[in-house]
């Protein structure tokens, strides 16, 4: 250790944070046209891919707990985009299904990934490489276990 304080520009965490904010801000006006927030868009992406799924599966796909997911789903239901139904064979399980309006919204969302990709200045190969790197990073950080350092032990 050099004894110098960490510099903001040298921090990977800040570069990730700034990139995430920039991408999310780019999505905002595009999603305003769809009347969706970014988290709602993520839910819709899963449903457009699968038509319906259980809340538990949706939470797993998006890495969200039910306390975060429930208000999102209630809002999407209020917008008429999804239907929430308790399964008759298991009252604890809630199924989420696209409505006709929710399915139709997919057509309006199709150009979004292309627009975002263009803004990132990466070709298809670059985007694929970035996705692979970010997924590996997420897995590595998720599986990493922090151990208390000598300086934090009291």
Q: Do 81 and 44 touch, CB atoms closer than 8 A?
A: yes
**Owning domain of residue 129:** 111-144
pLDDT digits (tens, 9 = 90+) for 25-74: 999 999 999 999 999 999 999 999 998 899 999 999 999 998 899 999 99
Q: What is the mean pLDDT of the chain?
A: 91
Is 1 inside any structural domain?
Answer: no
Percent with pLDDT over 90 in the chain: 77
- Is the pLDDT at 152 greater than 70, yes or no? no
Residue 150 in this model has a pLDDT that exceeds 60: no
Token pair, residue 140, equals: 């590595």
Q: What pLDDT is stored for residue 62 in this prediction?
A: 95
CB atoms within 10 A of CB 122: 14
Q: How large is the greatest C-alpha to C-alpha distance in the chain, in angstroms?
A: 63
Q: Answer yes or no: do 87 and 134 share one domain.
A: no
Q: How many domains does the chain fold into?
A: 2
**pLDDT at residue 3, as a whole number:** 76
Is 5 a domain residue? no
User: Do 24 and 81 share a domain, yes or no?
Assistant: yes
Q: How confident is the model at residue 94 (pLDDT cuts 50, 70, 90)?
A: confident
What pLDDT is attached to residue 92?
A: 76
The domain that holds 49 is classified in CATH as: 1.10.10.10
Residue 123 and residue 101 share a domain: no
CA distance 79 to 40: 11
Is residue 57 within 8 Å of 43, Cβ to Cβ?
no
For residue 154, tell me if it sits in a domain.
no
The answer to whether residues 49 and 88 belong to one domain is yes
- Residues 16 and 66 both lie in one domain: yes
Identify the burial level of 28 via C-beta atoms within 10 angstroms of its C-beta, where 0-12 means exposed, 13-18 middle and 19 or more buried.
exposed
Q: Which residues contact 110 (CB under 8 A, 6 or more apart)?
A: none
């Amino acid at each position: 250790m050099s004894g110098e304080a960490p510099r903001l520009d040298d921090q990977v965490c800040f570069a990730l944070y700034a990139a995430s904010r920039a991408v999310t801000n780019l999505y905002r006006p595009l999603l305003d046209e769809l009347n969706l927030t970014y988290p709602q868009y993520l839910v819709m992406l899963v449903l457009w891919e699968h038509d319906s799924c259980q809340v538990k599966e949706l939470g797993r796909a998006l890495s969200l707990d039910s306390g975060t997911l429930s208000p999102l789903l209630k809002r999407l239901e209020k917008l008429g985009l999804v239907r929430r139904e308790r399964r008759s064979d298991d009252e604890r399980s809630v199924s989420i299904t696209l409505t006709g309006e929710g399915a139709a919204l997919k057509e309006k969302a199709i150009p979004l990934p292309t627009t975002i990709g263009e803004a990132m200045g990466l070709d298809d190969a670059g985007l694929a490489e970035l996705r692979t790197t970010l997924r590996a990073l997420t897995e590595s950080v998720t599986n990493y276990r922090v151990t208390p350092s000598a300086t934090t032990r009291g």
